[in-house]
Amino acid sequence: MTRAAAFFDLDKTVIAKSSTLAFGRPFFQGGLINRRAVLKGAYAQFVFSLAGADADQMERMRRQITAMTTGWDVAVVHEIVRETLHEIVDPLIYDEAADVIEAHRAAGRAVVIVSSSGAEMVEPIGEMLGVDRVVATRMVTRDGQYTGEIEFYAYGENKATAMRDLAAEQGWDLADCFAYSDSVTDLPMLEAVGHPTAVNPDRGLRKAAAERGWPVLEFTRPVTLRSRSAAARTPVVTGTAMGVGAAVAGIAWYARRRALRTPAGGVVAAVALPAPVPPIGRRRPRGA
């Protein structure tokens, strides 16, 4: 059993776009949304890439997505996501984020994705990245269709609550855990751990990080996982991981190095990955 974990927000922290909006075109091609929705999603993606999403924008996006998905067939959504995952998401993964994830694995920590996007998107992405757990938004389904209701919204304080519950279940001391996010809306998530780091922070989070003395990283190189040769790479903590204390120092050194190199300027509960284990306290919907 690992004694600590590293928690990662997904959008603009591990991948370069909104995971929910990235699937707009496949959903259109699969007949789930119309062309107008695709265009609105493309515009939202553009705004998100420039400035992130504040609380009001996230709330508008949540309402739009829940209204749009009402009546969708759960099995069809899962099928579309799995068929297009590598084409849509693989090229968006930040090389630097993959390095940090590898460093935490080398230090013996569990890796957890914590995202407000839907489990339908986040779970397969988590499997692709090989993370240990996923926390994401969970929507209500009935008779194989989405009802438009949200059972659990992985946003704001809810993220921190899910992290505390998962830490209690797994025996992790949050004071020894790490967290990474780009958004000021994730302050509860970052404040829940002993080692918070702002990644590609929006204006609000950059200010909060400066006030609290948190490290700030800038991730700028999206790559495909296929382009990352494990044999050609040396783990970030190699030569430094001499016991738990030295491993922590290796991660902190990596964060400072990144900060110096680049000047600072949507639906489910936790599930084990990659094994197809249903979410804790909930059966996976038919067709998942």
Residues annotated as catalytic (active site), given as ranges: 9, 11
* Under 8 Å between Cβ of 207 and 191: no
Measured in degrees and rounded to the nearest 5, phi and psi for residue 230 equal: -60, -35
Q: Distance between CA atoms of 166 and 184, rounded to whole angstroms?
A: 22
DSSP letter for 241, please: -
Report the relative pairing of strands 195-199 and 178-181 from DSSP bridges: parallel
SS3 233: coil
Question: How many Cα neighbours within 13 Å face the side chain of 28?
Answer: 14
Provide the residue type at 80 as one letter: I
SS3 222: strand
Sign (positive/negative) of CA torsion 132, 138, 142, 148?
negative
